[in-house]
Amino acid sequence: EPEVTQTPSHQVTQMGQEVILRCVPISNHLYFYWYRQILGQKVEFLVSFYNNEISEKSEIFDDQFSVERPDGSNFTLKIRSTKLEDSAMYFCASRRMTDTQYFGPGTRLTVL
């Protein structure tokens, strides 16, 4: 069964550094999402992406964040200058036409 994959599974970085989190959505899906979950808190929506552009973003998704679909398979989330409060689990999700999203296993980002 096709699944969403994410790399790396764990990323440790220093405050102020740039990180890129990578996702490979299910191949025939059209809509892509990033969510994050700070430890012990709820899963929060960051951004949705369709037809090579952002379709919606939350207040969390400020100028430090960007997303890209550089080729036909990858979907990336970049954080330009990480802060301590960016430490969280980041989930990628995708869907085709129905509203059911399929999630990847997540990338745990630790900012020191």
Partner 1 sequence: GNSVTQMEGPVTLSEEAFLTINCTYTATGYPSLFWYVQYPGEGLQLLLKATKADDKGSNKGFEATYRKETTSFHLEKGSVQVSDSAVYFCALSDPPGTYKYIFGTGTRLKVLA
Q: Using CB under 8 A, list all residues that contact partner 1.
A: 4, 6, 31, 33, 35, 41-45, 48, 50, 55-56, 91, 93, 95, 99-106
Q: Which residue has the tokens 């552009």?
A: 53
Quote the CA–CA distance of 81 and 55 in Å, as a whole number.
23
Location of structure tokens 């969403």: 4
Task: Give the β-pairing of 5-7 and 53-57.
Answer: unpaired
Q: Give the nearer residue to partner 1 in terms of CB position, either 63 or 99.
A: 99
Cα distance between residue 69 and residue 89, in whole Å: 20
Closest CB to partner 1 among residues 19, 61: 61
In the complex, the smallest distance separating the C-beta of residue 16 from partner 1, rounded to whole angstroms, is: 28
Query: Could you tell me the smallest distance in angstroms from the CB atom of residue 49 to partner 1?
Result: 9
35 versus 75: smaller Cβ distance to partner 1? 35
The candidate with the shortest Cα–Cα distance to 67, out of 43, 99, 45, is 45
